[in-house]
């Protein structure tokens, strides 16, 4: 099966935002056994998990990892998954995950193409949890530090500690009939930072809850991500191109890192045009409030004027995210529910999005 075949066969069955955000920096290869749980959205009979060996977005100021960075050589020593009724339970049955019929996989530093596992017969129902249990060995492999899920790693004495340092699947793919695939492409606000871990109360998840089974929702939000990462047109944007409708909610981190309004407008335009050339329908979000001050506040106003005007004309539709999350004028640059909206703010955003009839 090729990567194209994978995307034609499988669609996202979890609204957990997963990405390659950082890589480990151990002096020597380290063996780690870790576990986390993903709530499944709709269920299905056959599943496959998608991975890659490249960083999707720049972390913080870029002093550790930058969009497009490659991780090193590492090995998946074992990978198994099982179904549970609730997070934290031990599955009755674990399914061994294989790659080209092998129980182990070596990932090379030079691997540029995402890879996926063999089909897994799970026969899952929506609302069940996928227990993801992996053992890896390597000095430099990707992981997602800001994923809004609890992740544990087992120490040599058998105790479990909280740690994000295991690779996670970029998509939990389900082979089920889907009529429309929707991606939410953004930063930590899209990923759900600001909501409780494992709560699935972030706004893309709340939108997904209201859609029927003909839809597949993929949360491509990554903490610290920025429009300049998307404009590079690398692996992160390539994943978004596989979906029918792509919602772009970016710009906060660009402004925080002193990008000007003109630079941000150019980056948003580049990402929008690239997605539309790939056949995607693009919904462009205004940049949300983040208690802006000074020059950043001026740039924020300028960017949102452009999105509500000529930049928005480059997309198929515009959602005024800022108007939902911001205080009434003249304080629209101040966030009602915090810069990272809490569950109440996410519920309000999801309702406004669905009421706008954009899908």
**How do residues 108-122 score in pLDDT, each as one tens digit?**
997 889 999 999 999
**Cα angle: 52, vertex 53, 59; to 5 degrees:** 105
Dist. CA 339–CA 292, nearest whole Å = 10
What's the predicted TM-score (pTM) here? 0.97
Q: Scanning the structure block, which residue is given the tokens 């990008």?
A: 259
Phi, psi dihedrals of residue 161, rounded to the nearest 5°: -125, 155
φ, ψ for residue 39, nearest 5 deg: -80, 130
The C-alpha atoms of residue 277 and residue 271 are separated, in whole angstroms, by: 10
357 backbone dihedrals φ, ψ, rounded to 5°: 65, 40
Q: State yes or no: pLDDT of 100 exceeds 90.
A: yes
Name 348's Cβ contacts closer than 8 Å, sequence gap at least 6: 324, 325, 337, 341
Q: Are residues 87 and 192 in the same domain?
A: no
Q: How confident is the model at residue 9 (pLDDT cuts 50, 70, 90)?
A: very high
Go through the chain and tell me how many residues it has: 359
**Do 76 and 225 fall into the same domain?**
no
Closest CA to 269 of 307, 224, 234: 307
DSSP 54: B
Do residues 17 and 86 both lie within one domain? yes
Domain boundary among the residues 172, 206, 228 is at: 172
Are residues 165 and 263 located together in one domain of the fold? no
Provide the pLDDT confidence category of residue 233 given band limits of 50, 70 and 90: very high
pLDDT recorded at residue 110 = 79
Q: Are residues 237 and 162 in the same domain?
A: no
Beta strands in 211-330 (DSSP E): 215-219, 245-249, 281-285, 317-319
pLDDT in tens, 327-352: 999 999 999 999 999 999 999 999 99
**Measured distance CA(263)–CA(23) in Å, rounded:** 28
34, two tokens: 């870790």
The 10 Å Cβ neighbour count of residue 166 is: 23
Average pLDDT, the chain: 97
- Tell me: do 129 and 227 sit in the same domain: no
| Residues 164, 55 within the same domain | yes
Integer Cα distance of 26 and 47 in angstroms: 32
Do 63 and 212 fall into the same domain? no
Q: Report the share of the chain in percent with pLDDT over 70.
A: 100
pLDDT for 158 beyond 90:
no
Question: Do 66 and 215 belong together in one domain?
Answer: no
> 157 with 293, same domain?
no
Give me the pLDDT at residue 101, please.
98
- Tell which of 139, 156, 172 closes a domain: 172
Long-range contacts from 334-337, C-beta under 8 angstroms, 24+ separation: 334/289, 334/291, 334/292, 335/288, 335/289, 335/290, 335/291, 336/289, 337/194
Task: State the CB neighbour count (10 A cutoff) for residue 352.
Answer: 16
Residue 156 has pLDDT above 90, yes or no: no
Report whether pLDDT(283) > 90. Answer: yes
**Boundary-marking domain end, from 131, 154, 172:** 172
Q: What is the CATH number of the domain that holds 231?
A: 3.40.50.1110
For residue 108, count other CB atoms closer than 10 A to its CB. Answer: 11
Report whether pLDDT(73) > 90. yes
- Owning domain of residue 229: 177-355
First-residue to last-residue Cα distance in the chain: 31
Q: Are residues 109 and 199 in the same domain?
A: no
| DSSP string over 148-209 | SS-EEEE-TTS-EEE---S---SEEEE-S--SEEEEEEESHHHHTBTBPTT---SHHHHHHH
> What pLDDT was estimated at residue 157?
85
> Is residue 7 over pLDDT 90?
yes
Strand order in the sheet with 180-186: 215-219, 180-186, 245-249, 281-285, 317-319
Whether residues 35 and 101 fall in one domain = yes
Backbone angles phi, psi at 81, to 5 degrees: -135, 155
Average pLDDT, integer, range 303-325: 98
314 contacts 280 by C-beta, under 8 angstroms: no
- Counted domains in the chain: 2
């Amino acid at each position: 099966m090729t990567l194209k075949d994978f995307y034609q066969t499988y669609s996202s069955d979890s609204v957990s935002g997963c990405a390659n955000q950082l890589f480990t920096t151990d002096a020597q290869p380290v063996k780690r056994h870790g576990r986390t749980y993903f709530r499944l959205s709709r269920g299905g009979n056959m599943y496959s998990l998608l991975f890659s060996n490249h960083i999707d977005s720049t972390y913080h100021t870029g002093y550790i990892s930058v969009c497009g960075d490659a991780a090193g050589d590492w090995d998946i020593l074992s990978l198994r998954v099982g179904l549970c009724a609730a997070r934290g339970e031990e599955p009755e049955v674990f399914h061994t995950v294989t790659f080209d019929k092998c129980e182990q996989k070596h990932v090379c530093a030079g691997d540029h193409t995402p890879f996926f596992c063999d089909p897994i017969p799970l026969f899952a129902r929506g609302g069940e949890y996928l227990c993801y249990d992996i053992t890896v060995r390597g000095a430099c492999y990707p992981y997602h530090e800001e994923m809004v899920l609890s992740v544990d790693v087992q120490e040599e004495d058998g105790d479990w500690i909280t740690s994000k340092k295991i690779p996670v699947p970029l998509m939990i793919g389900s082979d089920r009939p889907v009529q429309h695939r929707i991606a939410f492409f953004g930063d930590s606000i899209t990923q759900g930072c600001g909501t409780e871990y494992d709560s699935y109360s972030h706004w893309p998840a709340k939108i997904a809850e209201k859609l029927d089974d003909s839809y597949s929702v993929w949360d491509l939000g990554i903490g610290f991500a920025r429009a300049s990462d998307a404009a590079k047109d690398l692996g992160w944007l390539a994943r978004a191109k596989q979906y029918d409708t792509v919602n772009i909610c970016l710009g906060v981190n660009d402004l925080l890192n002193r990008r000007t309004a003109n630079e941000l407008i150019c980056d948003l335009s580049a990402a929008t045009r690239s997605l539309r050339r790939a056949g995607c329908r693009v919904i462009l979000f205004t940049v949300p409030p983040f208690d802006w001050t000074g020059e950043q506040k001026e740039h924020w106003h300028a960017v949102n004027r452009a999105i509500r005007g000529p930049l928005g004309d480059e997309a198929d539709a515009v959602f005024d995210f800022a108007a939902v999350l911001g205080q009434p004028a003249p304080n629209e640059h101040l966030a009602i529910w915090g810069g990272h909206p809490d569950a109440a703010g996410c519920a309000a955003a999801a309702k406004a999005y669905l009421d706008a009839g954009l899908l």
